[in-house]
A and B are shown apart, each in its own frame.
Chain A
Amino acid sequence: AQSVAQPEDQVNVAEGNPLTVKCTYSVSGNPYLFWYVQYPNRGLQFLLKYITGDNLVKGSYGFEAEFNKSQTSFHLKKPSALVSDSALYFCALRGYGGATNKLIFGTGTLLAVQP
């Protein structure tokens, strides 16, 4: 079965500190992985994706994500957090088999950056 897990409901970090939002996945084939961000009262915005190639993927707003096949993880990172990064973050996995056009979303992690 294909699934995505975001083990932390909330992550708190001080402004200027590095941040990590965790994501693990389960899939039988090669994973196609995505990160989205949702600001209050807004739709989800695409941040970055891993399809193939380099394990470190760079995306919008200074975010990057590290794909680790052995640990089946795709953690979102940023070297220096901003208060404006406070939002809800979703990890997603592209479906397989008859569901390649669907994205399977995690439950979301609320990132709170304190000034």
Chain B
Amino acid sequence: DAGVIQSPRHEVTEMGQEVTLRCKPISGHDYLFWYRQTMMRGLELLIYFNNNVPIDDSGMPEDRFSAKMPNASFSTLKIQPSEPRDSAVYFCASSFHPTTTSGNEQFFGPGTRLTVL
């Protein structure tokens, strides 16, 4: 398995532009998570999906952020319009359902480093 795949790996954009981050989870995983990592705030959970349905979006900072999961193998995180304070590394992770014997350790993608100028 190729693991969790994220694209792009790096994104530089100007304030006010729309940004779309993409994620392909590990095949067969039930859950997909979007995180943001910054020096100031550490690792923050933004939103997560179960079987393509958003379950908890309480970590989404504001309405400029939206996430979708149209099918089991693809998710997007969109920021519109982007602002300099959105600059961070965004991670996607996936996992099995927590009641399986494998537990619910999450497998992370390599991240997208976003810079908003």
Residues on A lying within 8 angstroms of B by beta carbon are 32, 34, 36, 41-46, 49, 51, 90, 94, 99-103, 105, 107-108
Write the chain A residue with the least CB distance to B41: A107
Residue B42 lies at the interface, judged by CB distance under 8 Å to chain A: yes
Asked whether, in the complex, the Cβ of B111 is within 8 Å of the Cβ of A43, the reply is yes
Asked whether, in the complex, the Cβ of A101 is within 8 Å of the Cβ of B50, the reply is yes
Asked whether, in the complex, the Cβ of A43 is within 8 Å of the Cβ of B110, the reply is yes
Per-position binary interface string of chain B over residues 99-117, scored 1 when its CB falls under 8 Å from any chain A CB and 0 otherwise: 0000111111111010000
With known contacts A101-B31, A101-B50, A102-B56, A46–B43 Cβ distance under 8 A:
no
Q: Is the interface of B mostly helix, strand, loop or mixed?
A: strand
How many residue pairs, one in A and one in B, have C-beta atoms under 8 Å apart? 52
With known contacts A100-B98, A101-B50, A108-B42, A94–B104 Cβ distance under 8 A:
yes
Asked whether, in the complex, the Cβ of A46 is within 8 Å of the Cβ of B107, the reply is yes
Per-position binary interface string of chain B over residues 18-61, scored 1 when its CB falls under 8 Å from any chain A CB and 0 otherwise: 00000000000001010000000011010010100001100000
With known contacts A43-B91, A44-B91, A94-B98, A101–B108 Cβ distance under 8 A:
no
Residue B68 lies at the interface, judged by CB distance under 8 Å to chain A: no
Can you list 26 A-B contacts with CB-CB less than 8 angstroms, sorted by A residue number? Answer: A32-B104, A41-B113, A42-B110, A42-B111, A43-B4, A43-B91, A43-B93, A43-B111, A44-B91, A44-B106, A45-B108, A51-B103, A94-B103, A94-B104, A99-B56, A101-B48, A101-B55, A101-B97, A101-B104, A102-B48, A102-B56, A103-B104, A105-B43, A107-B42, A108-B42, A108-B43
